[in-house]
Amino acid sequence: MNDRAPDLLTTTPFLPFALPDIGEEEIAEVVACLRSGWVTTGPKTRQFESDFAAYLGGGVEAVSVNSATAGLHLALEALGIGAGDEVIVPTMTFTATAEIVRYLGASPILADVDGTTLNLTADAIQAAITPRTKAVIPVHYAGLPCDMDAILSVAAAHNLRVVEDAAHAFPTLYRSQLVGTLGSDATVFSFYANKTMTTGEGGMVVTRAPELAARVRMMRIHGIRQDAFSRYTATTPSWFYEVVAAGYKYNLTDIAAAIGVQQLRKIDAFLKRRQLLAANYAEALGDLPLVLPADADIASGSRHAWHLYVIRLRDDAAISRDALISRLCELGIGTSVHFIPLHRHPVWRTICHRATSEFPAAEASFASMLSLPLYTRMSDADQRRVIMALRATLSGQMV
């Protein structure tokens, strides 16, 4: 590829790190919802849940919530995690994965990730197990599936519950099966603005266990036995309801679900575009002093969802990660870092008391990583700008 393409090294307009892809279909569905008179949890939410469960297949139930954070909280609550329990989480994740363990008075136990996949491994889980360990939350980092067969088998051997943090992993395949249908206790997806599909804010708890689904459904709406929709739309007098647990206010609105219904119809097209952008990056950046992200093991039927495209600078790169981010920003390109490992944040340092030296893979990755723009609204020209800027910066040319 030609490194000197001055027209592509323009610094404007600024290319954001991420943007949602909202079309006229979503707008029309939201308008219809607003005109319908039903704006909170109701018919659109039910449609979104049944469409989502149908997309995944495998006999799962889908229960919507107003964020993945809420969904993770409710899944662990339904599994009975509480004070004194330990829950193993990877250090290479967003703080939500650990904070929900604290909501329940339990302790997150941070584990290092694999240096290639940046995913939690069965070995790391095995090493972190104590008599108090009750559950593990694997995160399918960037959209790359964890080795779930190995994780589910170590969990089964130690009677641990498994809740998958699939915030990045829709639609990820693991050995020809969609994440969400792999047989863990529950899987939680995120529809935050920058995820592979969005409802503005939102999440979905997916499970094959009817009792778990029922508990989450009740606890997302104050611990009321019957939801507001069936109360207010029943044609017989239905003022009576019973609160049977001190629940939460975690329900998704129909306004958000209206966006989700239309986003879900586009998810295969979104995935195709993400796959193409990832393949373009792999082809155009392969000769630079970078470690490119691991792809899924396609031969075994796995598939990356490409929520993130995380590159790492090799030791022989002539620039630091921080300097590269600044340079790209000067060239009008937004990037990010996923993630500052949890063990580095003040709150988790205080709560978990762990030394950085206990997380060599996460430390080495964090020091050299950055996430490139990768989203469906990026044009081919946008991507060429990113590639040109990287090539020019890493090959030491002035631009």
Ligand X SMILES: *Cc1c(COP(=O)(O)O)cnc(C)c1O
Identity of the residue, 8 or 257, whose beta carbon is nearer to ligand X in the bound complex: 257
CA angle 60, 62, 67 (to 5 degrees): 140
Q: For residue 195, indicate whether it is catalytic.
A: yes
Whether the CA torsion 361, 365, 367, 368 is positive or negative: it is positive
Identity of the residue, 38 or 189, whose beta carbon is nearer to ligand X in the bound complex: 189
Interface residues with ligand X (CB under 6 A) are 67-69, 93-94, 96-97, 139, 165, 167-168, 190, 192, 203
Helical segments of the chain, H only: 24-36, 43-56, 68-78, 96-103, 122-128, 148-157, 210-219, 228-233, 254-265, 267-285, 321-330, 346-352, 360-368, 380-394
Whether the CA torsion 230, 260, 19, 24 is positive or negative: it is negative
Residue 350 CB partners (closer than 8 Å, separation 6+): none
CA distances from 288 to 215, 299, 311, 312, 334 (A): 51, 26, 11, 11, 20
d(C-alpha 175, C-alpha 179), whole Å: 10
Closest CA to 136 of 181, 94, 175, 81: 81
Identity of the residue, 93 or 121, whose beta carbon is nearer to ligand X in the bound complex: 93
Name the β-bridge partners of 309.
Answer: 372
Catalytic residue among 44, 134, 195, 266: 195
Smallest distance, Å, CB 395 to ligand X?
A: 32
Smallest distance, Å, CB 376 to ligand X?
A: 18
Identity of the residue, 60 or 68, whose beta carbon is nearer to ligand X in the bound complex: 68
Q: Per-residue DSSP letters for 131-199?
A: TTEEEE--B-GGGPPP-HHHHHHHHHHTT-EEEEE-TT-TT-EETTEETTSSSSSEEEEE--TTSSS--
Catalytic residues: 195
